[in-house]
């Protein structure tokens, strides 16, 4: 399993704690679909920081970094220098 796939599965597992069906396509808009709102987005950011040991700066809080599972995995990879 690639690092990106592992991040996607981790985020799906995290989503599963809060939504009934976290098996969303990797490119589905999490915000547009209503799965993620602004409050949950902050929980997601905290999870990413804790799970991957990265700091999410104010500049990183661009919706495009968190819009989909694929976007989140790409963001984590860039922050870790993958």
Chain mean pLDDT for the chain: 91
Domains of the chain (ranges; CATH) run 3-80 (1.10.1200.10)
Mean pLDDT of 73-80: 95
Mean pLDDT of 71-75: 97
pLDDT for res 23: 86
Q: What angle is formed at CA 69 by the lines to CA 65 and CA 70, rounded to 5 degrees?
A: 75
pLDDT tens digits along 5-24: 999 999 999 998 888 887 88
On the CB side of 41, how many CA atoms lie within 13 Å of its CA? 19
Band the pLDDT of 53: cuts 50, 70, 90: very high
pLDDT for res 1: 53
């Amino acid at each position: 399993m690639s690092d990106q796939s592992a991040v996607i599965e981790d985020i799906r597992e995290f989503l599963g704690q809060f939504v009934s069906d976290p098996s969303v396509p990797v490119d589905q808009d999490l915000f547009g679909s209503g799965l993620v709102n602004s409050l949950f987005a902050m929980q997601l950011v905290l999870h990413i920081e804790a799970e991957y040991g990265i700091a999410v700066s104010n500049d990183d809080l661009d919706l495009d970094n968190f819009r989909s599972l694929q976007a989140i995995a790409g963001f984590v990879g860039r922050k870790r220098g993958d």
